[in-house]
Amino acid sequence: MIYFRDQEITHADQEAFSARFGPFAEDAYTQGVPGHLHVQPLIKEASQTLGVVFGAGWHTDSPFLAEPPAISMLYGVEIPPYGGDTIWANSALAYATLSDAMKAILAPLKVHMSMGRVVETAQAHQAPDDTPLGRVASTKGLAKLPDEIARKVAGSFHPLVRTHPVTGEKALYCDQTYACGIEGLTPAEAEPLLGFLVSHITQSAFTCRLRWAPKTYVAWDNRICVHQAFNDYDGFRRELYRTTIAGEAPA
Q: Read off the pLDDT of residues 22-35 as tens digits, 9 standing for 90 and up.
A: 999 988 777 899 99
The backbone torsions φ and ψ at residue 195, rounded to the nearest 5 degrees and listed phi first, read -60, -45
The answer to whether residues 241 and 75 touch, using CB atoms and an 8 Å cutoff, is yes
Just give the CATH number of 2-225+234-245.
Answer: 3.60.130.10
| Per-residue confidence (pLDDT) for residue 134, from 0 to 100 | 66
**Global pTM?**
0.91
Band of residue 129 on the pLDDT scale cut at 50, 70, 90: low
The answer to whether residues 238 and 80 touch, using CB atoms and an 8 Å cutoff, is yes
Separation of alpha carbons 132 and 4, rounded Å: 26
Band of residue 37 on the pLDDT scale cut at 50, 70, 90: very high
Q: Could you tell me which residues come within 8 angstroms of residue 73 by beta carbon, excluding any fewer than 6 positions away?
A: 14, 17, 18, 217, 218, 219, 220, 242, 243, 244, 245
Pairing status of strand 86-90 against strand 207-210:
antiparallel
pLDDT at 133 over 70: no
The answer to whether residues 60 and 173 touch, using CB atoms and an 8 Å cutoff, is yes
Separation of alpha carbons 87 and 75, rounded Å: 15
Separation of alpha carbons 71 and 22, rounded Å: 9
